[in-house]
Structure formats: structure tokens, C-alpha cells
Copies of this chain bind each other. A is one copy, B any other.
Amino acid sequence: MQRRTSKVSDAVIRRLPRYHRYLEELVRDGIKRISSKELSRRIGFTASQIRQDFNCFGGFGQQGYGYNVELLYNEIKKILGLNERYNTIIVGAGNLGQAIANYTNFRKRGFEVKALFDINPKLIGLSIRGIEILDIDKMGEFVRDNDVKIAILCTPRENAQQVAETLVEYGIKSIWNFAPIDLDLPNDVIVENAHLSDSLYVLSYRMAEREKENKEK
């Protein structure tokens, strides 16, 4: 058993959602137990790494047996905070903001979008799946009154920093940021970036790399 005061590395943390995904599949398929070896075969990490990773959080397995799928799944869920429910708001009700509001899976996982906010008068008053688009002026009050834990930032790059600062003023401590910019905020604010263009550029890097290799032959 590991002391939990030791900081878990980012590399491990970013693998957790993947474990979660595969374990969910195992649960769905009715599989009751799994060894690190078999999980390794499926997920593509080494068995050693899998055991190391799980042991950052405590021993969930049993020697000679392996891991109980259901138990492990629930542990990973707890570690990821997916046993909690979080009220969220989406700031910027454009293409992406609306797409996310429409996505029902996040609510199923405990992330409930309580409102969208925008400055565009044409959008204000509309609803998406029953979730209202409100005037940005109402945001402070709304955050105070609705126990909002996460803000999903979907405004254009140009004003994302300023909007983020406003959010922090209103007491928001966690931001899921889609604007292609690195927000500069107080240290106690958790920011997780979903930089889609970064991901696309990595794809195009790989393509350019392959192109070059082909030419060399």
C-alpha cells in the first residue's frame, strides 16, 4: 500500500481515463476478472506499467488472481472524481459551446451543464436541450446561486483571457479551456486545455514526417 501524500506524476494521471475506458468496456462485456497481462494485451501498455500505475493509488489486485474488474473500475472512477456530480456552465455559445451542450454523455458522467452564456443578443434567450443561453451579465449571479464548479470556455481566442479572469473573479476554480491560448491565472485555478488545433497539427506533423521518409527511399 502506497502513502497517498506522494504526488502522482502527470504521465500516470493522463493514462487514467484510458484505463477507465477499457474497464468500462470489460464491465459492459460482463468480464469479472482480469490480469495485468491480459489488460496489457488489450490496452497496449506493458503489464508492468499497469501494475505500477494502479499501485500509485493502492493495491487493488490480488496475487494469483488478478484484478476484480468491477472493483477496479469503481476505484478508477473514484480516483478520477467521477463519483461526484459537477455543475458546469459553458461560456461562449457558438459552434463548439453548442456542440458540447448537446452532448448528453457528459451529463451521464456527472457533468451537468446548467447554462450557457454569450454576448450575442441573437443567441441570448435560446435554449439547447432545455439549457438556456443567458446574457453574460447574468453570469456572476448565476455562478453564485447555482454551485457552479466548472466553466467550459468556448469564446474566441481574443477575449478568452479576459473572460477567464472574470470567471475567476466570480469564484470559478476549474476551467476547461477550448480557446487556443494558455491562460494566465492564479495558481489555485485548475485549467485543463482541450487544444484541438494542437492535436490536428500533430497529425499533420506525422503526415509531413511520413512524406519525408517516403522521399528518402
Residues of B near A4 (CB, < 8 A) are 212
Minimum CB–CB distance from A151 to chain B (whole Å) comes to 11
Contact, CB under 8 Å: A199 / B204: no
Q: Which of A17, A203, A210 has the most CB of B within 10 A?
A: A203
Give the residue of B100, B182, B207 whose beta carbon is less than 8 angstroms from that of A190: B207
* A202 part of interface (Cβ distance < 8 Å): yes
B208 touches A199 (CB 8 A): no
In the complex, chain B residues whose CB is within 8 Å of the CB of A196: 194
Q: How far does the Cβ of A149 sit from chain B's closest Cβ, in whole Å? A: 7
- Cβ-defined contact, A202 with B95, below 8 A: no
Q: How many residues of A contact B (CB 8 A)?
A: 57
The complex is assembled from copies of this chain, and their number is 2
Query: Which one of A60-68, A104-112, A114-122 is at the B interface?
Result: A104-112
Query: Which of the listed residues A20, A21, A44, A173 has the most CB atoms from chain B within 10 Å of its own CB?
Result: A21
Assess whether A59 is interfacial by the CB under 8 Å rule.
no
A191-212 CB mask vs B (1 if < 8 Å, else 0) is: 0111111111111111110111
Does A199 lie within 8 Å of B205, measured CB to CB?
no
Residues from chain B with a CB closer than 8 A to the CB of A111 are 200, 204
* Contact segment of A74-82, A131-139, A163-171: A74-82
Given pairs A13-B205, A190-B206, A194-B194, 8 additional interface contacts (CB within 8 A): A16-B201, A21-B182, A78-B208, A82-B201, A84-B208, A95-B99, A109-B200, A173-B207
Binding site for B on A (CB under 8 A): 4, 13-14, 16-18, 20-21, 44, 78-82, 84, 86, 95-96, 98-100, 102-103, 105-106, 109-111, 149-150, 173-174, 176, 180-182, 190, 192-208, 210-212
> What are 8 inter-chain pairs, A to B, with CB distance below 8 A?
A81-B204, A84-B207, A106-B200, A109-B197, A173-B207, A176-B200, A192-B203, A194-B199
